[in-house]
């Protein structure tokens, strides 16, 4: 089996999460990722807890399978090494604030002139254009400014941050898509392109229902807890021992739900269509819970699953890591240490592709500058 990106070389100047998540995705698909880090401390996440044997599990989860070389891009000797790497690379990825690479002499215009086939991927808080391009940002800033926090949480309560760092992660996903498209285009044109992804833009891009509601009704939606604002019933429900999820996304599924619950309301005008159900969502929730409170979550999940109604438990991360479906899909992998022993657990690659390797373990996360000798020898080989 051949990894789809085998043979491609990615120079990774990124740190923390958005950029490293992008390059991890590319590494999982077979690209050789060379992480170029500052000599003093390297990637900030090397200092992020939790730690095991003195090393960051956070860093390992996002940087496994990469190689590291420490270079000071203001020092002449290190710049010479970096430029030799540029000559061998297919892609460079950076997540500095706009202007930093230009001040170093490695902005898009300079690199495109010197290395016309090189694809340049950039991810930043606000992008490389617009009045706020040079402002700093972190995940929480763009979740707040991008509208995601305004619809997250319970009604009439303070907005809350999404538990996962989707400001970073979504931007990293979009950047990897852009890089792959640019590589495909380069095969036709022979020229690289610049990809400019903003974390703020990426938050707006995932607000599909919120944008539609706002532009049609003229009123911005607020938080609705676990309930979908445009589909009903599509939320959490109480059983006798706690909450579980029901997602009946169309009229046929709602009819199946009513049959499974022995609740004869599918023809009731208040519930016969999705718009009607949305208008009467609170009443419908009470009617459903009058039934579901009579038995356990496991009972209802089993019964509704047998009826073909989408449903499921609300699992914590520990439970997810043991979920048989997750394990069957190789979505929990071992990250090895430099001696080949299991050191950490990490999420696997969700992109499953025919005839592509999907090993149960991943190569180690690199020590800072830990691959210098190997990388320099590779450069000497031409």
pLDDT at 382 over 80: no
**Residues 302 and 193 reside in one and the same domain:** no
Of 292, 314, 336, the domain-final residue: 314
**Residues 302 and 360 reside in one and the same domain:** no
pLDDT, tens digit (0-9, with 9 covering 90-100), for 256-282: 999 999 999 999 999 999 999 999 999
pLDDT at 67 over 90: yes
pLDDT, tens digit (0-9, with 9 covering 90-100), for 301-358: 999 999 999 999 999 999 999 999 999 999 999 999 888 899 999 999 999 999 999 9
| CA-CA-CA-CA dihedral for 274, 287, 247, 232, to nearest 10 | 20
The Cα 172–Cα 186 span in angstroms is 21
- Let me know if residue 1 belongs to a domain: no
Task: Give the pLDDT score at 229.
Answer: 86
Residue with tokens 């590319």: 26
Residue with tokens 């090494």: 81
Name the pLDDT band for 81 (thresholds 50, 70, 90): very high
- Let me know if residue 223 belongs to a domain: no
**Residues 167 and 260 reside in one and the same domain:** no
**Residues 189 and 275 reside in one and the same domain:** no
Residue 345, domain extent: 9-206+327-380
**Residues 185 and 69 reside in one and the same domain:** yes
**Which residue in the list 64, 112, 228, 238 is annotated as catalytic?**
228
* CATH code: domain of residue 77: 3.40.50.10540
For 48, residues 6+ apart whose C-beta sits below 8 A from its C-beta are 56, 58, 59
The Cα 252–Cα 260 span in angstroms is 13
* CATH code: domain of residue 290: 3.30.1540.10
Helix axes 297-306, 251-261, angle to 10 degrees: 130
**Residues 20 and 143 reside in one and the same domain:** yes
**Residues 177 and 247 reside in one and the same domain:** no
The Cα 56–Cα 322 span in angstroms is 23
**Does residue 228 have an active-site annotation?**
yes
CB of 57 closer than 8 Å to CB of 19: no
- Let me know if residue 216 belongs to a domain: no
Q: What are phi and psi of 133, to 5 degrees?
A: -55, -35
- Let me know if residue 178 belongs to a domain: yes
The 10 Å Cβ neighbour count of residue 19 is 28
For residues 227-236, b (16+ Cβ closer than 10 Å) or e, as one string?
A: bebbbbbbbb
For residues 261-284, b (16+ Cβ closer than 10 Å) or e, as one string?
A: bebebeeeeebeebeebbebbeeb
């Amino acid at each position: 089996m051949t990894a789809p990106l085998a043979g491609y070389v990615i120079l990774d100047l990124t740190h923390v999460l958005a950029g490293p998540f992008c390059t991890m995705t590319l590494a999982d698909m077979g690209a050789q990722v060379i992480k170029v880090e500052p000599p003093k401390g390297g990637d900030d996440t090397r200092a992020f807890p939790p730690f095991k044997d003195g090393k960051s599990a956070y860093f390992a989860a996002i940087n496994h399978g990469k190689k590291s070389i420490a270079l000071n891009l203001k020092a002449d000797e290190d710049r010479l090494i970096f430029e030799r790497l540029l000559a061998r690379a297919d892609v460079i990825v950076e997540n500095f604030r706009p202007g930093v690479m230009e001040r170093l002499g490695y902005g898009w215009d300079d690199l495109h002139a010197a290395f016309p086939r090189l694809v340049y991927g950039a991810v930043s808080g606000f992008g490389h254009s617009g009045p706020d391009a040079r402002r700093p940002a972190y995940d929480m800033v763009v979740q707040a400014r991008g509208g995601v926090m305004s619809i997250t949480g319970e009604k009439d309560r303070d907005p809350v941050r999404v538990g996962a760092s989707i400001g970073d992660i979504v931007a990293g996903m979009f950047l990897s898509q852009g890089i792959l498209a640019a590589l495909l285009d380069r095969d036709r044109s022979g020229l690289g392109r610049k990809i400019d992804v903003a974390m703020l833009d990426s938050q707006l891009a995932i607000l599909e229902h919120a944008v539609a509601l706002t532009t049609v009704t003229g009123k911005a939606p607020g938080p609705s807890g676990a309930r979908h604002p445009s589909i009903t019933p599509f939320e959490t429900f109480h059983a006798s021992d706690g909450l579980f999820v029901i997602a009946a996304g169309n009229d046929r599924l709602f009819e199946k739900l009513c049959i499974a619950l022995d609740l004869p309301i599918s023809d009731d005008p208040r519930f016969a269509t999705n718009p009607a159900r949305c208008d009467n969502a609170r009443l419908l929730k009470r009617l459903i819970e009058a039934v579901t409170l009579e038995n356990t979550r496991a009972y209802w999940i089993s019964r509704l699953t047998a009826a073909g109604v989408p449903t499921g438990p609300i699992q914590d991360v520990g439970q997810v890591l043991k979920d048989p479906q997750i394990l069957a899909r190789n979505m929990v992998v071992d990250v090895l240490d430099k001696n080949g022993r299991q050191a950490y657990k990490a999420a696997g690659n969700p992109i499953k592709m025919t005839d592509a390797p999907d090993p149960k373990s991943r190569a180690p996360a690199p020590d800072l500058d830990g691959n210098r000798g190997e990388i320099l020898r590779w450069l000497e080989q031409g």
